[in-house]
Amino acid sequence: MSEAGRATGKVLVLGDDTRSFLACVRSLGRAGLTVHAGPANFRSPALASRYIAAVHDLPPWMDDGAAWLAAMRDLLAAQRFDLVIPCNETALLPLDRHRAELAPLARLAIPGEAAIEVLFDKVATRELAQRLGVPVAPGRTLRAEEDAAAAIAELGAPVLVKPRHSYTLERLAVRGKVQLAEDAAQLAHAMAGADPAATLLEGFVAGRGLGVSVLASGGRVLQAFEHHRVHEHSGSSYYRVSAPLSPDLLAACEAITAALDYTGLAMFEFRRDAAGRWVLLEVNARPWGSMPLPLALGIDFPFRWYRLLVAGEETRAVAYRAGVHGRNLLPDLQSLRASLLRRELGPGAKARIAASWAAGLLRPLWGREVHDVLVRDDPRPALAELAGAAREGAERLARHIPGVPRRRARGLLRAAGRSEGRARIVFVCQGNICRSPFAAALLRSMLEPARTGNDIEVRSAGMMPWPGRASSADAINTAAQRGIDLSAHRSAWLSPAEAQAATVLIVFDETNRAALLDRYPAGAARLLRLGDIAGIGAIADPWGRGTGAYETAYDNIERAVRALAEELAG
């Protein structure tokens, strides 16, 4: 600490979201620390924060992690950070794997190895909770020969089918999907092909979502904060309210923290029904999405975490106001829209939802609501978020104006065909195993051999950092029927060099487009959607949807690539 009472160190925060990442950045920056960012999304509004001094481009962890490790080691050696804070599993798990190599270069704000083994494994978390007498939902791991009807009878309906790990280092590009099965048929579908050892079946517990956030040192809770979800949508909450600490929930957190000798931040998720019965759902052993609310109420979890890890200071618990709401405005608007579009809700129910949401907008007038993104001392992230939403809206509108997408696509292709030197056309989808390799091979087959060898290079890549995967059997068979051999194809990640060198970047749907621009914003002027060339719009990803989906996708790709080849020839 400096003589003025402000910190003078330097911290690297890995992430880019407008919730946990931005809360950490603001907390540390306000304390006087120099904050650097390591994002995956370079269009994130959070990067506009006044408290970010530098942004670093680190490669994603993939293959054996060698490229990521080399880049991280070089960055830590050059910058001499006091602390590295990962705000998500995709940043935390690589740090855990390489803690022996990186710990001598900077302190790592990650749990101990024993805590990671338990808290990042839903089955292990349940088992620890049960040993400690902490209630959990009825559940168990999937059996090898599971009968869906019997499972429904045992656990009740609906049943949640959960991956044991949300992320694994081996499949870091893919988040495990939680599925809700209302009946035996849905459950059988959700279980199909699942790995029994890596899958958890859990009975759904109705009630309200609660969270207890803690800062702990050596198994002792130094500070706790409780919030209750107000609006919930697709497993997330973008509107919540501070609440007094519940002694029974806090005791459960303290028992688990003590059992793991835990040091660091964690958020314990619970669900409580109308009768007051509650269960532990999971533990987030990293910065969490609801952190802006306690930060706004004076519970400065990130900076106190920094002081604990860097200076060994165990700060005292402080009180906070209950009944203050925290809102992440744009996502909460999106969840409202989703609720109003639900067909099973009648007009009366929808009117009540809209009225309740609108009434909440008055709370800031009497100091009972704070916003995650819009804050007085750091308004630029909120302004960037609004500007981004406006741009997206304008682009969506333009895509629906007849003729506009096709004219833009044709203009880009004609410019590529007339460009001096060798043109590079790169097809980009998510995994580079279905659509992009087929489109690239098809275009090469349609162009004159002399052109593809001399003045036009055609390539494909994916935004998912999971290289070396083969195309699926459905992709290989459907492509073979159209004269294209994908049997030797292996997926590749779209590297910065490949993205920069491309004359034209061709995507297939809005998911591809957003993923590409998040990573390479400068590619916007060279980006087009393949279906726009032929006036057919987005070409959906057929992966995992059966032979019929592949046939439809490949028919659309063939039609669009033919039009593309004609434009290049012209």
Q: What's the one-letter identity of residue 125?
A: T
CA terminus-to-terminus distance, the chain: 67
pLDDT at 276 over 70: yes
Hey, what are 512's tokens?
Answer: 């591809």
pLDDT at 152 over 80: yes
* E strands in 170-219: 179-181, 199-203, 208-217
pLDDT at position 1: 44
pLDDT at 2 over 50: no
Write the pLDDT tens digit of every residue in 28-48.
999 999 999 999 999 999 999
Instruction: Grade residue 570 by pLDDT with cuts at 50, 70 and 90.
Output: low
Give the CA diameter of the chain. 76
Burial (CB < 10 A; 0-12, 13-18, 19+), residue 316, is exposed
CA dist., res. 123 & res. 309, Å (int): 29
Write the pLDDT tens digit of every residue in 332-364.
777 777 777 777 778 887 788 788 777 777 787
Give the residue-averaged pLDDT of 129-137. Answer: 97
Residue 435 appears among annotated catalytic residues: yes
DSSP letters for 218-235? TTEEEEEEEEEEEEEETT
Give the residue-averaged pLDDT of 449-460. Answer: 72
Helix 404-418 vs helix 380-399: crossing angle, to nearest 10: 90
pLDDT at position 235: 63
Degrees to nearest 5, angle at CA 394 with 392 and 399: 95
- Report residue 346: phi and psi, to 5°: -80, 175
The residues facing 493 across adjacent strands are 462
pLDDT at position 224: 98
pLDDT at position 417: 61
CA dist., res. 238 & res. 334, Å (int): 10
pLDDT at 156 over 70: yes
Cα-based distances in Å from 20 to 120, 233, 284, 421, 430 = 18, 18, 12, 46, 26
Degrees to nearest 5, angle at CA 325 with 319 and 328: 125
Could you tell me which of 116, 111, 296 has the C-alpha nearest to residue 215? 111
Is the distance from CB of 560 to CB of 484 less than 8 angstroms? no
pLDDT at 452 over 60: no
pLDDT at position 339: 74
CA dist., res. 504 & res. 396, Å (int): 21
pLDDT at 58 over 50: yes
The residues facing 209 across adjacent strands are 271
How far is C-alpha 296 from the chain's CA centre? 24
Is the distance from CB of 175 to CB of 233 less than 8 angstroms? no
pLDDT at position 356: 79
Burial (CB < 10 A; 0-12, 13-18, 19+), residue 78, is exposed
Tracing tokens 């942004």 back to the chain, one arrives at 55
Write the pLDDT tens digit of every residue in 458-511.
999 999 999 999 999 999 999 999 999 999 999 999 999 999 999 999 999 999
pLDDT at position 419: 61
pLDDT at position 260: 98
- Report residue 403: phi and psi, to 5°: 90, -25
Instruction: Assign 111 to helix, strand or coil.
Output: coil
- Identical fold, 10-109 and 138-203: no
User: Residue 235 region, left (φ>0) first, then alpha (ψ -120 to 50), else beta?
Assistant: left
The domain segmentation of the chain, as residue ranges, is 10-109, 138-203, 325-378, 401-569
Give the residue-averaged pLDDT of 254-264. Answer: 98
Instruction: Grade residue 402 by pLDDT with cuts at 50, 70 and 90.
Output: confident
CATH architecture designation of domain 401-569: 3-Layer(aba) Sandwich (3.40)
pLDDT at position 334: 78
Residue 541 appears among annotated catalytic residues: yes
Instruction: Grade residue 4 by pLDDT with cuts at 50, 70 and 90.
Output: very low
Is the distance from CB of 39 to CB of 55 less than 8 angstroms? yes
Residue 474 appears among annotated catalytic residues: no
Average pLDDT of the chain is 90
The DSSP bridge pattern shows strands 278-284 and 264-272 to be: antiparallel
From 435, 513, 519, 529, the catalytic residue: 435
Instruction: Assign 470 to helix, strand or coil.
Output: strand
Hey, what are 408's tokens?
Answer: 């833009």
Class of domain 10-109: alpha beta
Is the distance from CB of 300 to CB of 27 less than 8 angstroms? yes
Min mean pLDDT across 63-67, 76-80, 376-380 is at 63-67
Burial (CB < 10 A; 0-12, 13-18, 19+), residue 172, is buried
pLDDT at position 412: 76
pLDDT at 3 over 60: no
pLDDT at 421 over 90: no
Fold (topology level) of 138-203: Dna Ligase; domain 1 (3.30.1490)
**Best-predicted range by mean pLDDT (34-43, 224-233, 442-451):** 34-43
Is the distance from CB of 379 to CB of 503 less than 8 angstroms? no
pLDDT at 312 over 90: yes
Instruction: Grade residue 7 by pLDDT with cuts at 50, 70 and 90.
Output: low
Cα-based distances in Å from 281 to 135, 136, 547 = 9, 7, 37
Q: What H or E segment, with its residue span, contains residue 560?
A: helix 547-569
* E strands in 195-334: 199-203, 208-217, 220-233, 236-243, 264-272, 278-284, 325-327
Give the residue-averaged pLDDT of 84-91. Answer: 96
From 429, 509, 519, 532, the catalytic residue: 429
CA dist., res. 94 & res. 91, Å (int): 6
Write the pLDDT tens digit of every residue in 166-196.
999 888 888 888 999 999 999 999 998 889 9
